[in-house]
Structure 1
Amino acid sequence: MKKYMISCLLILSLRGFSQTSETAIRNIVRQQQTYWNQNNIAGYTGFFSDDCVLINFLGLYWKGRKQIESEFNKINECCIKPTEVKLEVLDIKFTSSASAVTHIKETLTAKADYTVPGGVVNKGTVNHKFITAVLEKKQGIWKIFAMQVTQVVPFPGPGR
């Protein structure tokens, strides 16, 4: 009976851990969406660890929160400010009590026409990306440790 009670308590405590950690990670994603839409680059990048690696949808490799913030600031006027983002957490998988992998669907909508290398993005244009983020919990705080962003390009199909 004691073993049964201990097992039940362990399961309940792990479930509580999972819900609390999952809520914290979902809140990070929600806050990042808010900061992007407020054009608050420092707020958006504040959730990255100091040694985070981000590979953006163009394949550029950015290392460290400071570089990530700097690079986002460089493209802010052309490519962030005229957009609105919606981030949807698809799943969260805990690899330990202090690390998790989450998959996020990004929907980016142009609020105005803007120029990018190679062309113009017209107001109302919507594109989609998938984000894989690895988060670590240190000293009770979840931070993004690694992120990979992949642009979704519709498959043209055979004969196209």
Structure 2
Amino acid sequence: MKNIIFLALFCWLGMTWAVAQNAEDEKAVKATISKMQDLWNKHDINAYNGLHTEDATLVNPEGVFCANKTEIVKMHLAANEAYFKFTSLVIDIQKMRFVSPEVALVNVKYNITMTGEATMADGTKANKGDKHSVAILHVLVKKNGTWQISATQVTIIQAPAK
């Protein structure tokens, strides 16, 4: 009987620890996403890119594949000079799930408002006040206790064809 009670207590403590750890990690991942939004809105692209792992990958809405952090930084700096600097961003977390204690999949919606006029990557003109949304899947990994972006896939959200 003592063994059964000990085993039940051990299992209960293990589950309690796992739930507490998951809540702590969820809070940390949310903080990373919030930091992304803040850095974007400050147009601190170097700090924004600092949230990526060295081997991070990114596929942008045009299908351009960046194979590492160096390529992501180059693309983000060029985009900031052209149009990112004329935007403000609100990130809405749609869903988050942990596939392991060190890997989180985070579906987000970037709600972007143009703060000035710019020519977008596809050549279209964007006017001040225009609003755009993109759906993004971020894969975050926990390295040395810090959650970092390891992979990103961006999809433009378009209204259904009429």
* TM-score, length of structure 2 as denominator length: 0.93
Match of 1:138 among 127, 143, 146: 143
User: 19, 25, 41: which one pairs with 1:21?
Assistant: 25
Matched, 1:75 2:76: no
Unpaired runs of at least 5, structure 2? none
RMSD: 1.1
Which moved further from structure 2: 134-143 or 7-16? 134-143
The runs of at least 4 consecutive aligned structure 1 residues that moved more than 6 Å come to none
Tell me how many residue pairs correspond in the alignment: 157
The answer to which of 130-139 and 25-34 deviates more is 130-139
Bigger Cα displacement from structure 2, 111-120 vs 37-46: 111-120
1:58 aligns with 2:62: yes
Greater gyration radius: 2
In 2, Cα distance between equivalents of 1:141 and 1:114: 35
* 1:37 equivalent among 28, 41, 65: 41
Distance in 1 separating the partners of 2:81 and 2:118: 9
Paired residue for 2:51?
47
AA in 2 matched with 1:54: L
1:119 Cα deviation after fit: 2.4
Percent identity, aligned pairs only, is 25
Please give the TM-score of this superposition, normalised by the length of structure 1. 0.94
Q: How many Å separate the matches in 2 of 1:32 and 1:47?
A: 8
Distance 1:138 1:45 in 2: 16
